[in-house]
Chain A
Amino acid sequence: MVHRSRSILLSLVLILAVVAGCAAPGAAPAPGAPGGQGGTALIPVTYTYAGGGVPRDLQMVQDAINAILNESIGVNLTLEPIDWGAFNERMQLRLAAGEPCDIIFTAPWINSYTNNVANGALLPLDDLLKEHAPGLWASMPPTTWDAARINGVIYGVINQQIFPKPWGVHARKDLLEKYNFSLDNVKRWEDMEPWLEAVKNGEGITPVYADQGSYSLWRPQYYGYDPLDDGIRFVGIKADDETLTVVNLYETPEYIEAVNLTKRWVDLGYFPRELLPRDEARAAFRAGLFAMGYHVEKPGNDVEMQTAVGWEFVSKNLTDPLILDTAGATATMNAICATSRNPVAAMKVLEVLNTDPVVYNLLARGIEGVHWVWEDKANRVITYPEGVTSATSGYEPNTDWMFGNQFNAYYRSAAQVGAWEATKIMNDTAYPSQALGFVVDRKPIETEIAQLIAVMDELERPIAQGYIAYEVGAPELLARMNAAGAQKVIEEVQRQLLAWREANPR
């Protein structure tokens, strides 16, 4: 009997232990509850974004920012960087769970903007913008703001940076000189061929860089198309087509031209046959196994590529005219959560981040004298303080384009001076696509899109990569796409596009 009662006691203890671990329902502290009741009633605002870990000096930077914000707008800002590897997953779960948040980073490619809007997770911003962020509102023309509209409502604040996609080439300077070639006369991809032939023979390498994520000369904007929705991939309109006729891009003569050229380059040995993952391909580039890349050749890209792969480059944009489309303009945004408890204060923070270079650079570059010092104040060029390097710096997020208007950022090197002005000119002079501001509502065609992505991954990629000739692969691709509902998607997008135009006459 003694044993038994002791054993029952033991099991009770065990159960209690388990229950205690599970209990405390609803005990979670309400995040964002006003802290520091005594004294000044600062409004708490949290800014959640993606970053490479928690920087060592985050608190110092946050304090420096708050020293300004406390005074100017009575806000106490909490910076909450989430690791890149966790950001998308955790943000989607938080929003799906209805957790309160204030300002969040959102984009077409991570923490999806359209998805968040469709899920009702973001707050409409039109009124807040006009009332509490006049400087921010005035910093961009209405056509740019239109790009952020979904069904006529703005849900995200666009961060100014490069909007159009200037597809072009960057070629290694040493090899250009060695083979006596100049980019001045290069107007199209094809014009590179004499040099590619020389490099291939002279260096014994496959000259053109490609990786598993970037594997084709097919770039819609280079060929004059607005792809409407990067997630759907195969629909688009000619950017200047006033009739807004939606086509299957894979049936257009431009697509055929692009993939034929890719295939030609593969066959001639200019373009890799076997694609490496990006990290390995980059390593090969650094090791000198490639001679040129083709990318978004925005101003200053030659400098950026040099830091990335170690060679000196000459870069040139080959896209003419530049096209401003919705995806390009909305590539990086900050939004306010529908669950935010202090939306007005959050909007005031966005106003400051986008219009006050001092606060913006605190966030993007850190504190003067600690994380950077002036090298050339007149040209806004900074450098590291004595004894600090990029590796040892306590604060270096490296993501200007995440925090606000990038044109307010201080330059990292003298070679970049003028890049922002040049970029702004590109933004302002790019040809606005006829569909600028239109966003596809995927909901009615989501099943078809899911099926089509699978078909395209399998059959379109080999064609785009230049493994299979268009004439050989296209019939099956197009047949299977039609079976998977391509026509329905085109019709639905066409219907939405015309309805949008009806509501938003040009």
Chain B
Amino acid sequence: MTTGTMTPGAAKPQPHHGPLTRLFGGRRNLQTTLSLTLMALPGIIALLVFAYLPMVGLVIAFKNYRFADGLWGSAWVGFDNFRFLFGTDVAWRITRNTLLMNSIFIITGTVASLVIALLMNEVYTSWVSKYYQTLLFFPYFVSWVIVSYFVFGFLNAETGIVNQVITAFGGDPISWYREARYWPLILTFSHLWNSVGFGSIIYLAGILAIDPAYYEAAKIDGASKLQQVRYITLPLILPLIIILVLLSIGRIFNADFGLFYFVPRDNPQLYPTTDVIDTFVYRSLVRLGNISMAAAAGFYQSVVGFVLVLLANWFVRRINRDYALF
């Protein structure tokens, strides 16, 4: 399904139009542009009001915000508010953990969601398929606080199920909450469990939108199921995959606070692998209540994510400009 750039009317002769009309490619296109802009307008205004207007607050990151002085009256302090993020050797660790864990999440999440979506598509006509969909959505309703109870129920030293199994097979029980090295795996599982239903339903919607004619033709050519996936399904939902990955890259510096804070139970011995930018900022600032430093941390995360997306987008554009974000 190609997204051609054929625009009706563009090739027609363009007699006697004003400069503005000519700029928009003729009367027909001027009207099209007008209509389309009108359509976009409610959304544009909503974003302007609820997203762009508050962005004047970004200056807080560069100010020593004092309630009494307000946004404009507070003193400028340059990059002072950013210092606490980079001052210690922890800076490297939280950056590494955030990037690494989020990269793992993006890759495993995308693959798992895709696989589940493909599997569900295979049995879509079966009566049980809708139960799968519903079941997969359950975890999305469960808050991380509650997940932390379950994980603890599974892993705690005394009554934990996992250790009971290990000892039943003659192994030594593991102190899960003292050993940082297990946690990338535990967190990845928790994240997958929580998000796979959500991700797979987007891909399933994309797959279901594919014209069945393609599969018919492939069947006539004798293509196997795997070949159909390889040559029809995946290429056709590639734009969707790319857009979702690009969007996740934009958030790669923002960790899921609930997951990283509640599930390891804010246990200091696990920080080497579980401490991320968001939990660090929370711990450092919650007792200080410093709005400016919190704003600085958020700004830093946004800028890095922004740069990464620009790079990724540039890369995608070079390969296929239709797939790019902008």
A-side interface residues toward B, CB under 8 Å?
Answer: 4, 7-8, 11, 14-15, 17-19, 22, 92, 95-96, 98, 112, 115-116, 118-121, 212, 231, 273-274, 277, 338, 442, 446-451, 453-455, 457-459, 461-462, 467, 480, 483-485
Contacts and interface: CB of A to CB of B under 8 A. Distances in A.
A489 to B, nearest CB: 13
Given A274-B156, A455-B90, A457-B268, A121 B284 contact: no
Contacts of A118: 66
Given A18-B45, A461-B268, 9 more contacts: A96-B291, A112-B289, A212-B265, A274-B177, A454-B90, A458-B271, A459-B268, A462-B269, A467-B269
Which A-B residue pairs are the 5 nearest by beta carbons? Answer: A120-B68, A119-B67, A450-B284, A11-B38, A450-B84
B68 A338 contact: yes
Given A112-B289, A451-B84, A120 B66 contact: yes
B68 A454 contact: no
A447 B157 CA distance: 37
A462 B68 CA distance: 40
Contact of B283 (A14, A18, A273, A453): A453
B65, B90, B287, B291 — which one has the most chain A CB atoms within 10 A of its CB?
B287
B68 A273 contact: no
18 contacts: A4-B35, A8-B38, A11-B42, A120-B69, A121-B67, A121-B68, A212-B266, A274-B156, A338-B68, A442-B288, A447-B84, A450-B288, A451-B90, A454-B284, A458-B268, A467-B178, A467-B269, A484-B87
Given A11-B41, A212-B265, A458-B268, A449 B288 contact: yes
Interface in B254-276: 265-266, 268-269, 271, 275
Contacts of B69: 120
Contacts of A95: 67
How many residues of B sit at the interface, in one of the four size bands? 35 or more
B143 interface: no
Contacts of B268: 457-459, 461-462
Interface of B: 31, 35, 38-39, 41-42, 45-46, 49, 65-70, 80, 83-84, 87-90, 156-158, 177-178, 265-266, 268-269, 271, 275, 280, 283-285, 287-291, 293
Given A4-B31, A7-B35, A231-B287, A120 B67 contact: yes
A98 B70 CA distance: 7
A18 B70 contact: no
Contacts of B158: 274
A446 B288 contact: yes
A454 B42 contact: no
Nearest to A231: B287
A153 to B, nearest CB: 14
Contacts of A454: 88, 90, 280, 283-284
